[in-house]
Amino acid sequence: MIHCLHGAVGSFRAWETFSQEVNESVNALDLWRLFDHSTPTLIKTGQVISEDAEFGDVILGYSMGGRLALHALTAAPEKWRAAIIVSAHPGLIFGQEERRKKDREWASLSMGNWTSFLDQWNRQEVFLSSPEEFHQADVQDQEMISKSFLHWSLGNQRDLRSELPKITCPILWITGSHDRKFTALAEEVTSLLPNSEHLIISGSDHRVPWERPKDFSASVQNFLERNASF
């Protein structure tokens, strides 16, 4: 079973095509539902995801979902057979308050006009090459998304670099060739992971799974076939 975690302002439906192209069952988590009855922290969310998984499962996280996947991996490193992390940040070394301020602004904007908010979100430089059919969250999830900007902000995340060495399962860290910032981060953090590899997918930016879906799915399938045992 592959547990797939979407990104900020994303949707579990974004993994539909991917689930049809890999040879393992896929559990696409709707992360917004975690805010239905509580306001979980990053640490608590990682624990919940780990508790709901079975021994030998695989976790795949994109961007915000990649950060949550790292928390799930550090919460129970012995539980996972393998992991795929896509375009994710291990944690800020400085600038946390600036990031929290920016995410408070996004939280406020997300509670206003939904179409306007999505337009501003997608006009960020890192998303300009995204496909038009990319699945994003619906207006009904506005409140949960606003909460996620506050409670799952990168500014609230501790720097995970010192904890990465305890993750011993095989990890495939994927970035896009045009996403220089996250490619540099991936090169840094994979040097800290004892059993990892960094794959750069040509011609893609931040949203690699949807910008180069065939290449992405094939790369994940190859990685899982090479790491089939637990």
- The DSSP result for 49-76, as a single string, is HHHHSPTTEEEEEETHHHHHHHHHHHH-
Q: Which domain holds residue 48?
A: 2-226
CATH classification at residue 106: 3.40.50.1820
Q: What is the DSSP letter of 94?
A: S
The amino acid at 26: V
pLDDT in the model for residue 129:
74
Does pLDDT of 131 surpass 80?
no
How many separate domains does the chain show? 1
- Predicted confidence (pLDDT) per residue in 12-32, tens digit: 999 999 999 998 999 999 999
Q: Are strands 2-5 and 57-62 parallel, antiparallel or unpaired?
A: parallel
Let me know: does 116 contact 97? Beta carbons within 8 Å: no
Let me know: does 166 contact 139? Beta carbons within 8 Å: no
pLDDT in the model for residue 127:
85
Does pLDDT of 38 surpass 90?
no
Let me know: does 188 contact 195? Beta carbons within 8 Å: no
- Predicted confidence (pLDDT) per residue in 69-81, tens digit: 999 999 999 999 9
Residue 39 or residue 105, greater confidence: 105
Does pLDDT of 62 surpass 90?
yes
Question: Mean pLDDT, to the nearest integer, of 173-200?
Answer: 96
